[in-house]
Chains A and B, each alone.
Chain A
Amino acid sequence: MESQYHQFGQADNSSVRGEYKITSQSDRKMAAFGRITQALLRSSLTQSRRQLSASSGGHGALAEKWRMLSFVVALPGVAVCLLNMYLRQQQHHGHERPEFIAYSHLRLRSKPFPWGDGNKTLFHNPHVNALPDGYEDVDE
């Protein structure tokens, strides 16, 4: 029940409607009647909404639809791509890294990197990343 008043902050909506002055007893009774009526209306709406969402494959069953999509389409899609990747990697795990050619447009070093010896990039992998003068592990 608290949730219905949530978006209006205070339980009596007075800050929204500006009714904060001193009210007479009859005024307050009227305001209370209005509040109770509103509350009843809102709770009946919630009831019907709950009834709608309880039905599967019906009007308010979007959560069910997207749940189905998640488990029947999305996650199997990921599994298929995983399988495809695995098979592709199996295919060409024969040929390894390309030979080193000292191209002048690659392995640029206009200033040293601010870490280590200043010559290696952040994700440097000595097996596949050559330094400007060649691969580090030359015995391969």
Chain B
Amino acid sequence: MAHHSHPYHMVDPSPWPLTGAIAALLMTSGLAVWFHFHSTSLMLLGTILLTLTVIQWWRDIVREGTFQGHHTPPVQKGLRYGMILFITSEVLFFLGFFWAFYHSSLAPTPELGGNWPPAGITPLDPFEVPLLNTAVLLASGVTVTWAHHAIMEGKRKQAIHALALTILLGAYFTFLQAMEYNEAPFTIADGVYGCTFFVATGFHGLHVLIGSTFLAICLARQISHHFTSEHHFGFEAAAWYWHFVDVVWLFLYISIYWWGS
């Protein structure tokens, strides 16, 4: 290992940024090929390459931090800033879709019948499955906080149980949303209502899947004794992301499901 007179981490050369960029290119151009030439091969190749990239890149980070000790406090601070900035960028991403929703719903055009919801749209009852979904995500926020304190207090078994419960609640949310998607009386093609609804909730669902995966990795790492009571930033990053997902849902629920009905 290199000996240096500073606490920062000079990362070894890595192929993953390049493979990740290539994967992004293949996925996007593959999407266009699918739309125009009805072949999914390029897109599939890009997705496989992306999966391999993220697995190996993050595996390397775990090795560098947990096994090689490169994540000194200043390095951790940088990782914290990074995660905060990333989540901020995601907030702005969702802000765009909320903007689109409010643009169309605050002043509904005559083509929609001058109403919101538009004529012919039967919105979902916000006090049925959507309310249950809200309770599920809020509960998962409580359990992930339990998990965090358990880790900090060295309560290994409790942390495992709390994390597992959080992931279970996340999976339950996903299951409920999938059922809602299947049984909704309106579709993504139903004008601006269907479009704003499914794009906003759809991207949220994608983030729930990503967040659940992140938490699942943390569960595996907690079981494998990677985290200590003092140093468990991977878990903290996952918990921050999960809270962000929860907050986005609250905004979705209040704006689209409740006010928008």
Contact = CB atoms under 8 A, between A and B. Distances in A.
A7 B139 contact: no
B139 A78 contact: yes
Contacts of A98: 120, 122, 185
Given A10-B69, A67-B158, A106-B190, A123 B5 contact: no
A28 to B, nearest CB: 16
8 contacts: A4-B230, A62-B153, A63-B146, A63-B158, A81-B135, A84-B127, A88-B127, A107-B187
Contact of A77 (B73, B118, B135, B150): B135
B138 A77 contact: yes
B132 A69 contact: no
A2 to B, nearest CB: 9
Interface string B88-106: 0000000000000000000
B132 A50 contact: no
B146 A108 contact: no
Interface string B153-191: 111001000100100010000000000011111111111
A62 B162 CA distance: 13
Given A9-B71, A50-B154, A63-B158, 20 more contacts: A5-B69, A7-B72, A53-B153, A63-B146, A63-B152, A66-B143, A66-B149, A74-B139, A75-B139, A77-B135, A81-B135, A88-B125, A89-B128, A97-B185, A98-B185, A101-B120, A105-B118, A122-B188, A125-B182, A128-B184
B22 to A, nearest CB: 23
B3 interface: yes
A140 to B, nearest CB: 14
Given A106-B120, A114-B34, A63 B139 contact: no
Contacts of B194: 106
A20 B188 contact: no
A129 B185 CA distance: 6
B146 A70 contact: yes
A78 B162 contact: no
Interface in B60-96: 68-73, 76
Contacts of B70: 9
Interface in A1-54: 3-10, 14-16, 18, 20, 49-50, 53
A5 B69 CA distance: 9
B184 A70 contact: no
Interface in B114-147: 118-122, 125, 127-129, 131-132, 134-136, 138-139, 142-143, 145-146
Contacts of B184: 123, 125, 128-129
User: Ordered nearest first, which 7 A-B pairs have the shortest CB separation?
Assistant: A9-B69, A18-B5, A74-B139, A66-B146, A63-B149, A3-B228, A74-B142
Contacts of A8: 69, 72
Contact of B128 (A5, A88, A125, A128): A88
Nearest to A111: B35
B189 A109 contact: yes
